[in-house]
Chain A
Amino acid sequence: MTTALTGRGVGRTARAAREPDGTAPPARPKRTWAPYLFISPFYVLYVLFMLVPVGVSLWLSLTEWVGLGTPRWVGLRNYRLLATDISFHRALGNTAVFVLVAVCVIVPLALLIAQALNTRGLRARDLWRTAYFVPIVVSPILVALVFGLFFDRQFGLLNSVLRALFGTGGVDWLGDPELAKVSIGLVMLWRWTGYLTIFFLAGLQAVPRELYESAALDGAGRLRTFSTVTLSALKPVTAFVVVTSFIGAAQIFEEPYLLTGGGPAESTLSVSMFIYRAAFERQQFGYAAAAAVVLFVLVFGLSQLFNRVLGIGRAAA
């Protein structure tokens, strides 16, 4: 900062010194639009595809619109109806469960797997990494198809295994309201854990070895080393993974839509599915927009809270 100020001061002094000589003051830089033109594509696209849709959604949420014709202004009616809509409450509750699974189960599991994959002397390390990463690249349609067969009550693989091992089967994995949630959680676990593991693995590889050596010299055990060295060093990565997992799970759509359709009895209906259903199955675009605004506010607000609590983007003290 000091250097910059000094530099500007020097420039000003030199100009003041020249002007009394009768020389013409240096020409003011010509106003040109070129730089703005060069950076404009991003902002034009940002406005068109980000700000305008958000603004339109907000406006749409205050109207009643079937998808054709002129929307009818209804003020806050959609929000009032949402406040008393049992389906929406169910969707919020289900989404909260999925968020908890993502943040409290998948993220810690991904960290443990990353720790295991980071072990010195692990054989076929690349094979393991690839194996964990593959589920995220598999098409969700295929995932739903395979897990649909896997979870089938009458003829599914899981029940067949249970029957063969324990003589009991017939568990209605996708038909029982509580088990359906568990099944969706298992699919989330299968799909997302490996993906998040990659982030933790990258973080672990950046932890200086000296820290572990120092901890060993201080007599720290494995648990102590993990909690004081590994977790501390991984704090920025963990914060990022937690927030992105939270945002992803709060907007979960593919898994419940393809596997259970939000059923049975709306027990796996997520807020994103609720919005989709209102707009594209029931032609209630204003109502769907209101639900989308509520979801946006919740996700944005809680993400900000996470950011503050976890200190994302703040330099380490």
Chain B
Amino acid sequence: MYPPIPQLPPPPAPVVPRRTLLRGALGLGAAGALAACGGESTTARTAGDVTLSLWTHDPGYQAFFTQGIPAADRATDFRYHLDVTRAGAADLVTKLLAQAVAGRGTPDTIGFEIGSFPRMLRGDIAPRLLHDFTADIAAVPGLEEDLLPARTAPYSQDGRVYAFDSDTPMVVYYYRDDLFTKYGVPKDTPTWEEFTELGARTHRDHGASLCVVSTAGSDVGQVVGSFQMLLYQRGGAFFDADQNLVLDSPEAEEVLRFLCDGLRTGFVVDISDYYGASMQTALKQGKVIGLPMAVWYKNYGLMPNVPEQKGRWRIRALPRFTDDGSTTATLGGTGFGVLTDKANTRAATEFLLATWLTHDGQVRRFTETGYLPTRRSVFEDPRLNAVRDEFCGGQRLFSLYRTLLPDVPAVHQSPDQPILFDVLAGNLLRAYHGDLTPRQALKQTAADFRDQAGR
């Protein structure tokens, strides 16, 4: 009834059976995964094209290094390219440690904001991850003597230097020239004690303050920073070179009492944020007409918040404390380090030396970013000394900076510094509010620190 079903030809035998193909694919996948999990090559590059992975939190540094490539190409055997990653300052350290644990993906060069660097000092993190620049510094004639020890100290551990600072962030006194004249406040008052009396009077008569402390609970760095500037000026410190706590000192008590008294009289005003809306309002309304702050604050605090006050601000040295102390302190900074035992370690080190640390590089750094040199000799450069600052009414600021240079104090950091900042910030605020005396606040800070450090 039905025609026979024609016999179909047998299917051609596969060249590679499916199962074999599947096994092969799995094998290849596993091999790829294992290769991806492997560490990076550490065979050192000594010349030629090199792409450096650079991590930073600041676009200004990115621009500086990018523009420094031609100079680095000329000075070394490498032809540099940069692969830049930007992230928050604290996130960079977290990301670095995560990548280090993973064994791959670490940068060649990384910028540590000074407050984040103590994390690298915990345990043996710094020596395991970072290149020690001590020998590189010694190899460059004259560099060791020229480099400010005050600015290598924050990034050093056990005599080894792990990062080069971006700045000598001296603390100076900013003031409104027009309002000081209007209110009859002398602009050359030599001591803080005299300033206190003038400040109380100015606040009483005009509602303006001559000093600021931060009470931003969410930013312990700012709260501590207000105190830190005057503490280091007065000759106090948080830690000594051996990372021991030395905060509980007569100098610290004097400075804290000075600030607390200033808050009562109105000479000092508390502001929640040096950079935010509250400071902007205070500056615009003439509630703050003077403050001690680091030199970079002009570019990052005043100019963005009150550009219309261009020409009305001036900078002078801090008034001295009558008993002792110096004319300046430091606040802030960013150290650039190089990851050790990588293929690009040498290339990255030479890149930093050829851009960050040359005389011309430091001059360019100031003109492009506003950060002061970290080499003594560069402060003598006629190009820098000729610079007039329009925001400060055409002041030649480098002559001031040169006079302050010998007084720049070293800042030593400790892995337990974040703990100190946490406990100190709380006790500073309690002292400002009058809940603790300055003596009690410092004693309490030392006790809280001892309780928490080393856990």
- Mark B421-455 against chain A: 1 for CB-CB distance below 8 A, else 0: 01001110110010000000000000010011001
A283 sits at the interface (CB 8 A): yes
Chain A residues with CB below 8 A from B429, complex form:
175, 263-265
Interface members, chain A 150-188 (any B CB < 8 Å): 152-156, 172, 174-176, 180
Which residues between 49 and 95 of chain B lie within 8 Å of chain A, taking CB atoms?
Answer: 90, 94
- Contact mask B116-133 → A, CB, 8 Å, 1/0? 000100111100110000
Interface status of B278 (Cβ within 8 A of chain A):
yes
With beta carbons under 8 angstroms apart, the residue of B128, B270, B281, B433 that contacts A69 is: B128
Residues of B within 8 A of A149 (CB): 277
Given contacts A280-B94, A281-B90, are A153 and B215 in contact (CB under 8 A)?
Answer: yes
The reply to whether B277 and A263 form a contact with Cβ atoms under 8 Å apart is no
Supposing A85-B455, A180-B217 touch, asked if A283 and B119 sit within 8 A by C-beta, the answer is: yes
Select which of A85, A87, A154 is within 8 A of B269 by beta carbon.
Answer: A154
CA distance A180 to B425 in the complex (A): 15
Q: Is the CB of B451 within 8 A of A148?
A: no
Beyond A68-B97, A68-B129, A281-B90, is A155–B448 a contact (Cβ under 8 Å)?
no
| A277 contacts partner chain B, Cβ-Cβ < 8 Å | yes
Residues of B within 8 Å of A156, CB to CB, are 278
From DSSP, what is the main secondary structure of chain A's interface residues?
A: loop
Q: Which of A69, A144, A148, A284 contacts B455 (CB 8 A)?
A: A284
Q: How far is the CA of A41 from the CA of B272 in the complex (A)?
A: 50
Partner of B218, one of A148, A172, A277: A148
Residue B404 CB within 8 A of the other chain: no
Contact assessment for B128 and A175 in the assembled complex, using a CB-CB cutoff below 8 Å: no
B220 within 8 A of A: yes
Q: What CA separation (Å) do A281 and B219 show in the bound complex?
A: 13
Interface flag for B137 (CB, 8 Å): no
> Which residues from B are CB-within-8-Å of A180?
217
Residues in A whose Cβ lies below 8 Å from that of B277: 149, 152, 155
Neighbouring B residues of A154 by C-beta, 8 Å:
269-272, 278, 281-282, 287
B97's partner among A67, A81, A174 (CB-CB below 8 A) is A67
- With A66-B123, A68-B129 known as contacts, the answer to whether A263 contacts B451 (CB < 8 A) is no
User: Is B418 part of the contact surface with A, judged by Cβ < 8 Å?
Assistant: yes
Q: Give complex CA distance A169, B28 in Å.
A: 70
B101 within 8 A of A: yes
Tell me which residues across on chain A come within 8 A of B273, comparing CB atoms.
148
A8 to chain B, nearest CB (A): 38
> Chain B contacts of A15 at CB under 8 A?
none
- Cα–Cα distance between A262 and B218 once the two chains are bound (Å): 7
Q: Does A287 contact B (CB under 8 A)?
A: yes
- Asked if A5 lies at the interface with its beta carbon under 8 angstroms from chain B, I say no
Contact A263 B425 (CB under 8 A): yes
| A263–B269 touching, CB < 8 Å | no
Contact residues in B for A237 (Cβ distance below 8 Å)? none
Q: Taking the complex as formed, is B185 at the interface, i.e. its CB lies under 8 A from any CB of chain A?
A: no
A259 within 8 A of B: yes
What 8 new A-B contacts, CB under 8 Å, besides A68-B123, A152-B278?
Answer: A69-B128, A154-B282, A155-B278, A172-B433, A175-B270, A263-B425, A277-B422, A282-B419
4 closest A-B pairs (Cβ-Cβ)? A265-B426, A263-B217, A261-B218, A66-B123
The interface of chain A, by Cβ under 8 A from chain B, is 66-69, 78, 81, 85-87, 144, 148-149, 152-156, 172, 174-176, 180, 257-268, 277, 280-284, 287
A-B contact pairs, 9 of them (CB 8 A): A67-B101, A85-B452, A152-B278, A154-B287, A155-B277, A155-B278, A257-B218, A260-B218, A265-B427
